[in-house]
Amino acid sequence: MHLTDDQLNEYLDDESSEHDAIKTHLDSCAECAARFSALQTLFAKLDSLPDTALSTNLAARFLPDRKQIPQLPRWLTLTISLQAVGALIALALAAPFVSMLLPQAPSLTAWLFEIQTLWIAGLDAISNYQLPIAQLPTYPVEISTLFIALAIVSVFWIFGNGFLLRNQRK
């Protein structure tokens, strides 16, 4: 049985765990000793070669350019912009319908005044160790109207993302 090339290379590099067994085999086997001598000659020739500099820097081809800032593809930026514009248009178109559903809605200042009054009453109640019993205001918006608005926004979202994913495959 002869030594493998791996065993000879490990012995040549002094990394073999079977150092003594390989040395004994090389002393007794002329074929393995000749292969080992050829390996020694090959590595001696390789070590004697001069170091030469490359004419071009090959590392530049494979290393990322640090000066380039990663940007989204143009189609993706356009798709996101179109989705945002579509959502704003949907909100602008829905605003009159929402205001028609809430004709008696108080103004913003009235809501703020009501919140301030409740806050002061709550602080007074805490200072007197009494909890206020306040009724929550009711709003004249029906649940079905909210579901319709949610459905419209969902349709816009689904179509926008479908367009986005369809362009990604190309």
Q: Per-residue pLDDT tens for 96-145?
A: 777 777 656 667 788 888 899 999 888 887 777 645 577 766 667 677 78
pLDDT score of 68? 67
pLDDT score of 67? 66
Residue-range domain boundaries for the chain: 1-47, 74-169
pLDDT score of 129? 64
Q: How confident is the model over 150-167, as a mean pLDDT?
A: 84
Distance in angstroms (rounded) separating the CA atoms of residues 145 and 88: 19
Q: How confident is the model over 69-82, as a mean pLDDT?
A: 84
CA distances from 136 to 111, 120, 126, 139 (A): 12, 16, 19, 10
With contact defined as beta carbons under 8 Å apart, do 25 and 3 qualify? Answer: yes
Q: Per-residue pLDDT tens for 84-100?
A: 999 999 888 887 777 77
Distance in angstroms (rounded) separating the CA atoms of residues 118 and 120: 6
pLDDT score of 117? 92
Whole-model pTM?
0.33
Whether the per-residue pLDDT at 45 is higher than 80: the answer is yes
Whether the per-residue pLDDT at 169 is higher than 60: the answer is no
With contact defined as beta carbons under 8 Å apart, do 29 and 57 qualify? Answer: no
